Structure 1
Amino acid sequence: MAAEAPNDRNETHWDYDPSAYIGDGTFVLAMCRDLRGDIWIGAEDKGLFRFDRGARQWGQFKAGDGIADDNVYALACDQQGRVWAGTLNRGVSVYNGKEWKNYDFHNGPIGERIFDIEVCPKDGDVWMASSAGLTRYSIRDDKWLDYTRVDRLPSEQVSALAFDQNGDIYVGTACDGVVIGRASDRYKAWTQNRSTNGMPLTPTGAGLPVNLINDLLVAKNGVVYAATTAGLAWSNDRGRSWRFIRGEDWADKAKGLRRGPPRGWKESVAKTLLPEDYVSCLAEDPSGMIWMGFRRKGYAVFNPANLSVQALEAKGASGRDFARTILPLDQGRAWVGWYKAGASLAQQDIPTRGMPAAGGKEARAAPADAHSPAFPTPRNAGREHPRLLVFRHALASIQKTPEPHCDADGEAKGASAISLGEDWLTTGTWIGRYGRFMHALCAMNPPFDFGTGTVDAPYDSYIGEHTRKFPFNVQETRAEFVGDRPIPKNLMVEDGLRYWIHWLRTDNPRCLQVPERYGGGRRQAEWDDHGEAYPFAWEGPHIFFDLVVSDGSRQAKEGEKRRHPGVFLLSLYFMNKDGHAGNNRFRDYEIIIKPIVGDGLFWEQKPGWEDRFDALPALAAARVRDFWGGVYKQFLIREGEYTIKIGRNYSFNTILSGIFLDKVAGDVGAPITMTDAAWAGCADGAAGHSAAEDKR
């Protein structure tokens, strides 16, 4: 469809406001400008919009128009004029000016979910940050290349990309800091920059403030900027050292720590602060100003010359609070994409410095034929999938750890875990794929779960120590008596884990299936830490659960040897069912797996237990964000005893829908990459399925 836009009489100036067409109720996540000057806007659940500047018309592409998915999270235009659109769980779609061609994880990028796409200015290669690592499409060789832990990439949890003029790539990770690859050695060695001291308790300082990276930008002068959950960081020496500046809420976070600020801490006074700690996106305009988006405070412009900040907009009631992408234009203008309120025209008042280069995310070279370049050749779908190599590498790594010993009762002691990846494709259709050894469907029978918490994998769930007391809610609990005594009026009770059913029956495929023995169908239910009742700057409460995993086949006959003893695939399912409404849009978690904090399951929670958890070494970590579409976060674990934290991460409330365990029985990879043949002969694990089934 197309709609006429107001005529811009001055071709060099952009003063058209897109909000008349891309308005409230549109969840914008990506924007780019192509070689013709057309602007493309990717949105969640509404596909892809194009503003044809020459025809003065809007167009829209959805799944029925050739694009693979109605959810577009990343956009870029390559030097041949092709537009690349990264999707929720169908890989990448490429437009050559006439038609679309789709590349999923079988014949294109290594992962089904695409978080970012960038074009290398040195050779024109297209790089994609995916749910399974980095993929590079080589223009010269017409070939797809992958970078994972097998290639010594420090983290496959990649979320943001940026290039400098040398072709060096800067990779922002979800929870592992910034990773840098140099073009001079053909990206064979990788350098990792990490924060090592936890969230700083100062408004400015040296280093990365945290390891949770939301976006990256390399400015025209070579300065590298990192948008983090705890402020803006920048490096003047190509990533060797960093400085940071925090948001206005930094001191509230220090005061909101579980134990409060440390003794002797004083609130420092900073000359400049950002409107908010959580920086969501970055862009540079033609004058060299740095535009920043925030989760709850709109957007601002940062002047690198004097480190000043101009806050421009924060209108929560209209949905113009969560800025997800910014496309600078000229004359101090930009289009801002909002996660609820569509797109709008922005204007900053800082005097420009007259730098002529165009800003924003756009291609930098004109092709010979920008309208119908050839499509990339699909990856050979018959080859062994590279995610199998990643799985085998992870399996070999975890098997190098000492095998857990058994106590007098035969229970496994010790713990070992490694982050494996994520699955955005399966969504709620888990039966036959996950949970054959054990599954817990959180809160589906409140105050209980549905599942098979067998003697080999019992669990216990609770929230953190940092809580308040709340009035007892008779209506919510439907209880009026304790024993034979009426519940006193104004009774205050300790907070605890909540069990919620939102949709008792639903056809929404993102909601988990209910096994037939429990009635069948689908149901939306979840554990909830009640975080919505606490300030955003409050540390916690968080969801915790203890999991004890014991391989029932350990009692094998003497002389028998299992091929991969005691290794399991742990999958945690998250679905932000109301993530398009209010503060639910802000959910963003950090998963941390550690050895069990107590003395076995159902241990007595004495004051200070969370301090003991914090002191334990982390075995594995992952981050959960933008999960409206539903995602399984996955880990390999050995039999043992674990405490798993789903950290609220200063967002809204923490929720979890399902826990699934599958025993690893052979050289198999993540289930979504499997064929029937690959699963044939496995003694245990998820059921096999074909590539055709993946396309359902």
Structure 2
Amino acid sequence: MKWSSCIISRVSLRWRVATVLLAAAVGQWAAAVAPAAAASAYVDVSHCSAHFIVDACRDRGGNVWLATEDHGIFRFNPRPGTDQTAQHWQQFTASDGLADATAQSVACDSKGRVWVGSLCHGVTVYNGQSWQHYGLLTDASKDELAGPIGEHIFSIRVCPLDGSVWLCTNSGIARYEPGYKTASGKTLVGQWQYYTVAEGLPSDDVQTVAFGPHGRVYVATRCDGIAIARPVEKDRTALRHRKLLGPLHYQAWRIVKSRFDNQVPLTPTGSGLPSDLLNDILVTPTGTAWVATDAGVAWSSDGGSRWRFVRGKDWLAKDKGLMHPPSRLFVLNAARRVTRTRILSEDYCTCLAQDSQGDIWVGHRQAGIDIINPGKNAIIPLKLAAASPDGQPWQQPHKYVDKILMLPKSPPIICCYGGGAFEVPMWLAGTANAMRVSGLPAAASKPVKMPTAAGVPTKAQVAAEEAKVNALAKKLWPNKNGPHVIKLDDDWCTEGNWLGRYGTYWCCLCAMKSPGNFYWGAGWRGNGVDIGGAVGPHVRQETKLLAKGDSLRYWIQWLYTSDPRVLEMPKPYLDKCWLTGLVASKNGDRREAEWDDHGEGYAMTWQGPGLYISVHVPPGVFLLALYNVNKDGHTGPNRFRDYTVDVRQAPGGAANMESLPLAQFNSWPELARKRIVNFWSGVYTRFMVHGPITLCIKLGRNYSRNTIVSAIMLGLYNQRPPPYGSPIPDAALFSYWYQKSAPKPAGAFTKNGRYYLPLGYGIKQPLSVPPRKMEADAYLGPTTQAERLRLLEAAIGGISNAAKDNGVWMSASRLLWRLHRFRRSEAIQESQGYTTPRQIERSLRWWMIGDPSASGGAYVHMYLKSHPAVSTRVPAN
């Protein structure tokens, strides 16, 4: 497709207007003289009781499945009584077999099975009769089989050429290859394969994939551009001769990134990708690839070598809102070359779909839907595509579009984030072109066999994977110390249950004691950690609200709550609040507090302000995590929050925000970048950091709502068990400590008949593992660590097995910990007689040591062996 300059002549524009007016007149006449058209079978889809719908698909029986946030998945049967249920609607939740209350994604495979991706527990498959859960490990006690490594499934796509199911996760891609018969007649069972940075992807955060007509696959990452691969030569030959029997194989990946670094393009149209932040990707039957970004739509008709883009009508306001805007002459010249009919209604594009006439439907965050007609070089909002029978433009009920589901012989279904689902009116869908007929075969008459679980790797396979890790580490990092920062997979499981898991070395709970912060951690005193926070340099003082200038805001949304998305309050502080009468136990043990850049005081087209965080990391290898939760993300523009995370090395050795020239941030060495979006449930954005180093982290507002962050946390990366390792074996340490007759460790003491252990005791940075090996494991971690874990699982007869094998068990516990499966890791530690870090940190109080009026007096964190309740009357600080 060629869209050279997208010029629409005045003649064609007049013709379109005349056509719309004629259609309106005909529609009014038809409405007056003809009976009403037959209603679509899917018209009642708008009656779904859930409002936050994030994905949808149609199965082989014609049922529509709607994936929702917090309410599981809904199946809509357009013909009650012809399927498994006699009702239009059937809801499936965790009590029915789903792995999670939130269904993040959904797809129907070539055999008719429905795959439902969860928020934090892998994928669940429905075969027409029952559900089967697939996750990290096979666990009979939880009815779980091994499958995807990542727990958060962003999207699920099915390759039409080989039937393979691609799960796009926070830990790369997990592909299920269905079983098939070889040329000799041998039947091979299905198997799982994984694609991560180790195989050549630019990132493990994969948003979605799309497939070309000749097997080419396009991988859209969340913030690192596109990865493209062709099948190997053998498979391409088989495709040409229509002799493909098994799954396609991919080896070499080509990376496509935007040339517009750190800001949006200055022009409304141009060449290349407009942004690396991708939301959806689509490949047409002719091979043209389309990608939806936060800065418009791009397309390529030559296999991804050359790209063109078109932006939204808010491009001009964004140009004017830049910290360093282009000249007025530049903007004027760019504006003269474009008309509203040539650009999108909005920059931010959420999803894509194609109808049978080849038109591309583009969903937006605030502006509804646009339709692109490539053949006519035209873009028109859906509401203007045709006039209604009453002659009035159609008003879309809800504008935040998450999914456009095309249906055969029926209007498309639009799924909205906050507005439920609705069907496009038949008169409008008919004018805008009939829908593409689905290629799914008829529904199966009996339940289909469930997918096969992922197999246990052999020792040779694990050794080969580790050899690949080491070889790539030497290639990437010839310096034996390796890089300073490596981005890890995000944690969507833990939510607000952080005590003993994150921040065990040091933690800043932002605004927890507004107008101040609360600091925490076993190693935080005198360990060289320093932190600073500020809003970005691009602030203004034009409004009365900002007359005195803008600055970092310490905000508390909920003083006390039991919402599991919200961070727990450290027990010493909660106990103090209890003792001083500030809280009753029924109010909850969590507080929603955050730093805030006051971004709601600026237009959404304003670049910034954003949050800047400086952290000085001491010597050692650490796990750095930022916690964000979109606590009010179901209301108004709070739904639009979408942040970029840019980690750079700051000049100097101290985290003093006042001395950092933040206006020069983009000139400092970039170490890592990530993205935080759709975080209603809360997410930990994680990095491995090799100190000593001073980092400056920019949380970019990215033309959304205000920028917020709840915590900055630092823990030891190689903890044994985390974080209270000691030269004394841990089991011996605790038995040694708990025996009253035994000598006490240094720093321990007894008071009122109870035993106390200063938590700074034994906090050390273990150096038995070379830093480069830890960094290599982190860089290529999820697949390698999961394979090691599955091998260990087979060796001990399952993670739930009660057999005692301390060495193997603790190895499994460490791997689970690195894969942020904390509950399973803690269960292993408890089964082996350890007191877990979470048990310790949930049983802490503050005690005064020495004279509080003297310089020697200080509050220290103490572990109460008896695990007293919050109501215990202990001295307040």
In the other structure, the counterpart of 2:638 is: 584
Q: Give the whole-Å Cα distance in 2 for the aligned partners of 1:84 and 1:365.
A: 17
Q: Does 1:78 align with 2:133?
A: no
In the other structure, the counterpart of 1:91 is: 122
Aligned-pair distance for 1:590?
0.5
What letter is aligned with 2:510?
C
In the other structure, the counterpart of 1:273 is: 343
CA displacement, residues 651-694 of structure 1 (integer Å, 9 cap, x when unaligned): 11111111111222255767997885127799x99997526859
SS of 2:674's equivalent?
A: strand
- The 1:18/1:213 distance shift into structure 2, 3 A limit, reads farther
SS of 1:493's equivalent?
A: coil
What letter is aligned with 1:165?
P
- The 1:163/1:393 distance shift into structure 2, 3 A limit, reads farther
Aligned-pair distance for 1:258?
0.9
The 10-residue stretch of structure 1 (631-640 or 274-283) with the greater mean CA deviation from structure 2: 631-640
In the other structure, the counterpart of 1:343 is: 421
Higher relative contact order (CA 8 A, sep 6+): 1
State whether residues 398 and 637 of structure 1, in contact with CA within 8 Å, keep that contact through their aligned partners in structure 2: no
Q: 1:287 aligns with which of 336, 345, 357?
A: 357
Q: Give the whole-Å Cα distance in 1 for the aligned partners of 2:396 and 2:572.
A: 45
What letter is aligned with 2:203?
S
Alignment of 1:464-503 (within 5 A): 464-469=536-541, 492-503=547-558
Q: Does 1:240 align with 2:318?
A: no
In the other structure, the counterpart of 2:679 is: 627
Q: Give the whole-Å Cα distance in 1 for the aligned partners of 2:613 and 2:252.
A: 38
Q: 1:27 aligns with which of 30, 52, 74?
A: 52
In the other structure, the counterpart of 1:113 is: 152
CA displacement, residues 167-211 of structure 1 (integer Å, 9 cap, x when unaligned): 221111111111112223521111111012332111111111110
SS of 2:488's equivalent?
A: strand
State whether residues 485 and 687 of structure 2, in contact with CA within 8 Å, keep that contact through their aligned partners in structure 1: yes
Q: Does 1:251 align with 2:316?
A: yes
Aligned-pair distance for 1:263?
7.0
Q: Does 1:531 align with 2:608?
A: no
Q: Give the whole-Å Cα distance in 2 for the aligned partners of 1:226 and 1:626.
A: 19
SS of 2:637's equivalent?
A: helix
Q: 1:191 aligns with which of 240, 254, 269?
A: 254
Q: Does 1:66 align with 2:129?
A: no
State whether residues 136 and 146 of structure 1, in contact with CA within 8 Å, keep that contact through their aligned partners in structure 2: yes
- The 1:149/1:505 distance shift into structure 2, 3 A limit, reads same
Task: Flag the structure with higher helix content.
Answer: 2
Aligned-pair distance for 1:54?
2.7
What letter is aligned with 2:477?
K
Q: Give the whole-Å Cα distance in 2 for the aligned partners of 1:117 and 1:125.
A: 11
Aligned-pair distance for 1:148?
0.9
SS of 2:232's equivalent?
A: helix
Q: Does 1:157 align with 2:205?
A: yes
Aligned-pair distance for 1:343?
0.3
Aligned-pair distance for 1:513?
1.3
Q: 1:549 aligns with which of 610, 613, 617?
A: 617
State whether residues 615 and 694 of structure 2, in contact with CA within 8 Å, keep that contact through their aligned partners in structure 1: yes
CA displacement, residues 304-344 of structure 1 (integer Å, 9 cap, x when unaligned): 112212213599x9971210001123568211000001001
Aligned-pair distance for 1:392?
6.5
Q: Does 1:373 align with 2:412?
A: no
Q: Does 1:423 align with 2:491?
A: yes
State whether residues 530 and 654 of structure 2, in contact with CA within 8 Å, keep that contact through their aligned partners in structure 1: no
Note the residue ranges of structure 2 that are not aligned, 5 or more in a row: 1-34, 81-86, 138-145, 180-188, 234-248, 385-392, 576-588, 719-768, 790-798, 800-808, 829-837, 839-877
In the other structure, the counterpart of 1:645 is: 698
- The 1:69/1:294 distance shift into structure 2, 3 A limit, reads same
Task: Flag the structure with higher strand content.
Answer: 1
- The 1:187/1:651 distance shift into structure 2, 3 A limit, reads same
State the TM-score, normalizing by the size of structure 2.
0.67
State whether residues 470 and 495 of structure 1, in contact with CA within 8 Å, keep that contact through their aligned partners in structure 2: no
Aligned-pair distance for 1:18?
3.7
What letter is aligned with 1:417?
V
CA displacement, residues 125-153 of structure 1 (integer Å, 9 cap, x when unaligned): 10110010000001024111111122222
In the other structure, the counterpart of 2:668 is: 616
SS of 1:93's equivalent?
A: strand
Q: 1:358 aligns with which of 426, 437, 446?
A: 437
SS of 2:560's equivalent?
A: coil
- The 1:687/1:204 distance shift into structure 2, 3 A limit, reads closer
Q: Does 1:42 align with 2:120?
A: no
Task: Name the count of aligned residue pairs.
Answer: 638
SS of 2:104's equivalent?
A: strand
State the TM-score, normalizing by the size of structure 1.
0.84
Q: Give the whole-Å Cα distance in 2 for the aligned partners of 1:112 and 1:89.
A: 5
Note the residue ranges of structure 1 that are not aligned, 5 or more in a row: 1-8, 405-413, 474-490, 552-565
State whether residues 29 and 325 of structure 1, in contact with CA within 8 Å, keep that contact through their aligned partners in structure 2: yes
Q: Does 1:600 align with 2:688?
A: no
In the other structure, the counterpart of 2:43 is: 17
Q: 1:574 aligns with which of 600, 610, 628?
A: 628
Aligned-pair distance for 1:276?
0.2
State whether residues 150 and 389 of structure 1, in contact with CA within 8 Å, keep that contact through their aligned partners in structure 2: no
Q: Give the whole-Å Cα distance in 2 for the aligned partners of 1:522 and 1:88.
A: 22
CA displacement, residues 588-640 of structure 1 (integer Å, 9 cap, x when unaligned): 0010000115663215458xx33311122311000011110111111111111
What letter is aligned with 1:610?
L
Q: Give the whole-Å Cα distance in 1 for the aligned partners of 2:591 and 2:468.
A: 31
SS of 1:505's equivalent?
A: strand
Q: 1:460 aligns with which of 527, 532, 537?
A: 532
CA displacement, residues 38-64 of structure 1 (integer Å, 9 cap, x when unaligned): 111101011111111231611111111
What letter is aligned with 1:495?
D
In the other structure, the counterpart of 1:400 is: 477
What letter is aligned with 1:100?
W
SS of 1:42's equivalent?
A: strand
State whether residues 534 and 657 of structure 2, in contact with CA within 8 Å, keep that contact through their aligned partners in structure 1: no
- The 1:415/1:641 distance shift into structure 2, 3 A limit, reads farther
CA displacement, residues 203-250 of structure 1 (integer Å, 9 cap, x when unaligned): 111111110100001112221100000001011112111110000001
The 10-residue stretch of structure 1 (227-236 or 655-664) with the greater mean CA deviation from structure 2: 655-664
What letter is aligned with 1:82?
R
RMSD: 3.5
- The 1:354/1:466 distance shift into structure 2, 3 A limit, reads closer
Q: Does 1:678 align with 2:811?
A: yes
Q: 1:663 aligns with which of 708, 716, 722?
A: 716
The 10-residue stretch of structure 1 (422-431 or 48-57) with the greater mean CA deviation from structure 2: 48-57
Q: Give the whole-Å Cα distance in 1 for the aligned partners of 2:592 and 2:126.
A: 36
- Structure of greater Rg: 2
Q: 1:309 aligns with which of 374, 379, 397?
A: 379
State whether residues 528 and 654 of structure 1, in contact with CA within 8 Å, keep that contact through their aligned partners in structure 2: yes
Q: Give the whole-Å Cα distance in 2 for the aligned partners of 1:355 and 1:240.
A: 31
State whether residues 86 and 117 of structure 1, in contact with CA within 8 Å, keep that contact through their aligned partners in structure 2: yes
Aligned-pair distance for 1:91?
0.7
